[in-house]
Structure 1
Amino acid sequence: MSNRIRYILLWLISLLSWPWRWRLRQRLHRGGVRRVLLIRPDHLGDMLFASAALRRLRAGLVGAQIGLAVGPWSQAVAERYAPYYDALLTIPFPGFTRQAKGGWLAPYRTLWRESRKLRRWQRQHGRIDLAVNLRFDFWWGGLLCLLSGIPLLGYDTPLVRLFATIKVPYQAGQHEVEQNLTLVNFVISRWGQPVDTPPSPFFPLTEAERDWAAAWLRVGGWEGGGRLLVIHPGAGDPAKQWPTERWAAVASLLLEEPESWLLLTGSGREESLCDALIRAQPKSARQRTISAAGRTTLAELAALLDRADLVMGVDSGPLHLASTLARPTLRLFGPSDAQIWGPWPTGDPQHQVIKAARISNISVAQVAQTARAMLEVEQG
């Protein structure tokens, strides 16, 4: 289905559902907000972006029951934030499964099934007073709330406004962390109490996890004396990836410093990518390269990144995880907007972005020179 036809269909549904949406608006204005559902359909990086908003909502809406709706692919990261919500719902949000599409009707079949589940959940646990759609273009989440009888707060964007009970302006060019905080700040201003929680994403690590990472790296050969460089070459969208042989060339140049070591990270699906990168290196560099691809849980990956002197990669969740852990990052961007999806906090010299219209236009020399400059600053 083309975007234009989909928009017309959604507009008609919005028009025909006006009486229902009006009743939801009246219900919201008459009552308070004691049960809130945050909706974040995306993957690791966007979940990290949302963590600051989740923490602020918990602090500002004292006594409220907070639910978090995520895809099954984000359950592991969502569970790290368990103290900040009361219920975790997993929903296979269409468009984010990273699987083959099941035809144009598939999202609507899923919508009907999941809305019935959400209605049953409310009968068992209590009616949700307000849902907050943290994704600026996620019309499906709005329609899910409409069919489930839940008032919705969302951005005033073409697709989201169709089903939103309350609309908040979307600031073009503003980072996603700030956008998410804007929505939560609105909820707190209407139904909570002002709070001043840190505006930065966070990822909790335990000392046991840090100790595990140190021991794992020692087994691999890195004793902690020289620099530990990390390359995460993969991305959820293959179009974001930089050529493997260029990463190998960068690694070889940086490993000319004899005490430096390289750690490669990736999912199980990216194990072959990391293996190819190792094969493309000269023997001297391979001897000081460790691959953790496909061998770690999310928490273990975070603990390994927490040991790094520099983490390099493209626009991907693990790079956001590294910057959330306050590790220096160097990331390569193609057409994606780094102002919106790039490192947080914006403008921090600890996080550098090399951007080109096409990611393949970025040269080995650019990356190696920037990495060396960052390492010199870190050492100084």
Structure 2
Amino acid sequence: MPQTEAPDRILLIKLRHHGDILLTTPVARTLKSRYPRCEIDMLVYQETLPLLLNNPDISQVWTLDRKLHGWRKILAQLALLRELRKRRYRIVLHLSDQMQGAFFAKLLASEQAIGFDYPKRRKSPWRRFFTALAPLAPSNTLHTVSQNLLALQPLGITPTENERRCVLPVPEPSRNEVRALLRERGVTGNYLVIHPASRWFFKCWEDDRFAQLANTLADDGWHIVLTTAPDQNEMDMAASIMALTHSDRIISLAGMLSLNQLAAVIDGARLFIGVDSVPMHMAAALNKDTIALFGPSKIQEWHPWMTRYRLISAADYGELIEPDQVDTATRQRYLANIPLAPVLDACRALLAETRQE
């Protein structure tokens, strides 16, 4: 049922990973645009909080700690629920498929609780937790941002083009910290960012090819900044790549950056080069030119959103396992089909084009 009176408080629930959280921000952006006086809150997993702390569309971020178990988890969630009930939300939108979120939506929404019509939930009590279910597009037919925004259909809202953009503010202190880090390492002009890693290694390219790419672009005259998360496996990957490079124009900040600092590094770059990962979505949110290397991911759902990009798919260069058949815990990398040449050509093509903001 379309909303006829502006709500005073709305809660968005998104209990997923970092990239999913970033791709949910257009929902908050649209709601804040339509209801400027409304307070938009979000409930997310604790580790994804930094992506939302500086978002001007969000009033308060509530978190669940996935590290808690047993009675500690139960007590923490009961305490959270008590605090959330004090907010008296008129509308709650649950944007993922966990039953836990459905319980929260049912208990917290005073007027409308909206979820998605997941086929796998149709034989469960799922429908009873909501006043309305938004449509779910068939797999790999709609970008994740567009899918998230379908949750607004029961409210009678169709987002504008500008409302569909992701929101990732970069705090000024993080910019200053990054400028100092880069200056200490001799990077004072234009530079490119290479983020070779993903939390899932099956999405990663070969170390030697990333090194060759960095070497060639450095020989072209660019400074190269290599980044990864502060995860030992990712830092080991960066070390392996750096060992194969030969230019002092290539530096590594692997494992050294917070999420806000990483955003600042990406925002200052001329070009972002990476795989299907959170930093790739951060680059798109910051409207940076992006080179995206994809393996067995659902491209229509996860490609860079609303920025200029070139996508190189391993499926175009050989046989590739289907996304739904991948064991996400595997150490196998599925981007080995991708040769160096098309990636280098894509980089040079974007760098040669004039950037229009």
TM-score, normalised on structure 1?
0.76
**Partner-residue secondary structure (3-state), 1:360:** coil
Once residues 84 and 35 of structure 2 are traced to their aligned partners in structure 1, the CA distance between those partners, rounded to angstroms, is: 20
SS of 1:359's equivalent?
Answer: coil
Question: 1:1-380 alignment to 2 at 5 Å?
Answer: 33-81=7-55, 83-92=56-65, 113=75, 116-123=78-85, 125-135=86-96, 137-146=97-106, 152-159=113-120, 162=126, 163-172=129-138, 173-184=141-152, 186-187=154-155, 189=157, 198-207=163-172, 209-224=174-189, 227-257=190-220, 259-269=221-231, 270-281=234-245, 283=246, 285=247, 287-345=248-306, 350-355=308-313, 356=315, 357=320, 358-378=334-354
AA of the residue aligned to 1:85:
I
Question: Is 1:80–1:204's contact at 8 Å kept on the other side of the alignment?
Answer: yes
Query: In structure 2, what residue type is equivalent to 1:177?
Result: V
Larger mean Cα displacement after TM superposition, 46-55 or 206-215: 206-215
Aligned residue pairs total 327
RMSD (Å), alpha carbons? 3.2
- The amino acid across from 1:54 in the alignment is A
**Cα 1:194–1:296 shift into 2, 3 Å:** closer
Alpha carbons of 1:379 and 1:194: their partners in 2 closer, same or farther (altered >3 Å)? closer
Does 368-377 or 110-119 show the bigger shift?
110-119
Tell me the amino acid that sits aligned with residue 241 of structure 1: C
Query: How much does 1:206 deviate?
Result: 4.6
Residue by residue over 1:67-103, the C-alpha shift from the partner in whole angstroms, topping out at 9 and shown as x without a partner, is: 210111111111121x32332210135xxx7xxxx9x
1:188/1:194 contact within 8 Å kept: no
Q: State the shift of 1:140 in Å.
A: 3.7
Aligned-partner SS, 1:230: strand
Could you say if the C-alpha distance between residues 141 and 109 of structure 1 is closer, same or farther in structure 2, counting changes exceeding 3 Å? farther
Shift of 1:208: 5.0
- Cα distance between partner residues in 2 of 1:303 and 1:66: 25
Deviation, 1:62, is 4.2
Quote how far apart the aligned CAs of 1:114 are.
5.8
Three-state SS of the structure 1 residue aligned to 2:24 is: helix
SS in 2 for 1:301: helix
Counterparts of 1:289 and 1:202, CA distance in 2: 30
Give how far 1:235 is off: 0.8
Instruction: Decide which structure has greater helix share.
Output: 1
Q: Measure the CA separation in 2 of the matches of 1:362 and 1:183.
A: 37
**Alignment partners' CA distance in 2, 1:62 and 1:215:** 37
Distance 1:109 1:178, change over 3 A: farther
Distance apart, 1:111 and its partner CA: 7.9
Q: Is the 8 A contact 2:92 2:108 kept in 1?
A: no
Cα gap change, 1:122/1:217 in structure 2, threshold over 3 Å: closer, same or farther?
A: closer
Q: Which runs of 5+ in 2 are unaligned?
A: 321-333
**Structure exhibiting the larger radius of gyration computed from Cα positions:** 1
Alignment check: 8 A CA contact 1:139 1:160 kept: no
Change in Cα spacing, 1:45 to 1:194, as seen in structure 2 (3 Å) is closer
SS at match of 1:262: strand
Would you say the 8 A contact 2:194–2:225 is kept in 1? yes
Cα offset for 1:143?
A: 3.8
Rounded to whole Å, the distance in 2 between the matches of 1:194 and 1:221 is: 44
Find the aligned partners of 2:71 and 2:135 in 1 and give their Cα distance: 31
Segment of structure 1 superposing worse, 164-173 or 309-318 = 164-173
Q: 1:165 to 1:110 in 2, by over 3 A?
A: farther
SS in 1 for 2:219: coil
- Cα distance, 1:222 vs structure 2: 1.7
Contact 1:35 1:65 in 2 (8 A): yes
For residue 248 of structure 1, report the CA deviation from its aligned partner. Answer: 1.1
Return closer, same or farther for 1:195/1:370 CA change in 2, 3 Å cut-off: closer
TM-score when scaled to structure 2? 0.80
Q: How far apart in 2 are the matches of 1:126 and 1:52? A: 22
Q: Quick one: distance in 1 between partners of 2:73 and 2:98?
A: 13
Please tell me whether the aligned partners of residues 30 and 159 of structure 2 are also in contact (alpha carbons under 8 angstroms): no
**Distance across 2 between alignment mates of 1:194 and 1:260:** 39
Deviation, 1:354, is 0.9
One-letter amino acid of the counterpart of residue 250, structure 1: L
Hey, what's the Cα distance between the residues in 2 that align with 1:157 and 1:202? 27
Per-residue CA distance 1:132-165 (angstroms, 9 max, x = gap): 1123x44442244346677631111124562433
Question: Is the alpha carbon distance of 1:378 and 1:140 closer, same or farther for their aligned partners in structure 2, counting shifts above 3 Å?
Answer: farther
Return closer, same or farther for 1:319/1:126 CA change in 2, 3 Å cut-off: closer
